[in-house]
Amino acid sequence: MILIHLLIGIIFGKIFGNYLSFILGSILPDIDHIYIIIKHKLYNLKKIINSIKYEKKFDIRYKTPLFHSILGLIIFSLIVSFFSRTGAIYFAIAYFIHLLIDLADIDEKNYLYPLKVKFKGFLPIWSKFEKILTIILILILLILYKIN
């Protein structure tokens, strides 16, 4: 859902006039994907896509506990608040929306880290629903830019 997160960040940035905070908050939780790709030496695009779609098969978890948790939201929002209080609020909203969207994914998440409580959604990665939602968000974005 990386594209969905980016699109939502751009849409909210357009609506509220703060692209940087919304886009960063929307995509920062997925920075852990880069760490996982390097750690597991997944330097081939096909391997990356397959390992994201089939985490269990590859024995990989892309959603690390800190970045995909309320604790991560708080820590990173506090860091952003040193630069801009309003930006931190927008950032936190975008980060929280990211976590909510990821809730639907079938892979495990540790939203209450450091507690051992796990959350698991019902949608496979790059499901039909995700594809439709991506198209809808692109259309919304196009409409928003046509209006202005």
pLDDT the model gives residue 2 = 78
Residue 146 has pLDDT above 90, yes or no: no
pLDDT the model gives residue 52 = 77
- Residues 37, 48: contact at Cβ < 8 Å? yes
Report residue 104 as tokens.
């639907």
pLDDT the model gives residue 4 = 93
Please report which helix (H) or strand (E) contains residue 120, including its range. Answer: strand 119-120
pLDDT the model gives residue 80 = 97
Each residue's pLDDT tens digit, 71-117: 999 999 999 999 999 999 999 999 999 999 999 988 888 999 999 99
pLDDT the model gives residue 132 = 92
* 108: DSSP letter: E
Question: By C-alpha distance, which of 55, 74, 56 is closest to 66?
Answer: 74
- Residues 3, 134: contact at Cβ < 8 Å? yes
Q: Cα 34–13–147 angle (5° rounding)?
A: 130
Each residue's pLDDT tens digit, 6-58: 999 999 999 999 999 999 999 999 998 888 888 888 888 888 887 877 777 77
> How many CB atoms neighbour CB 93 within 10 A?
18
Q: What's the average model confidence in pLDDT over 126-147?
A: 90
pLDDT the model gives residue 148 = 64
- How many CA within 13 A on the CB side of residue 23? 9
Report residue 127 as tokens.
């499901």
Task: Tell me if the bond preceding 114 is cis, omega within 30° of 0.
Answer: yes
Cα–Cα distance measured from residue 99 to residue 102, given in angstroms and rounded to the nearest whole number: 5
- Residues 26, 94: contact at Cβ < 8 Å? yes
- Residues 36, 68: contact at Cβ < 8 Å? no
- Terminal Cα-to-Cα distance of the chain (whole angstroms): 27
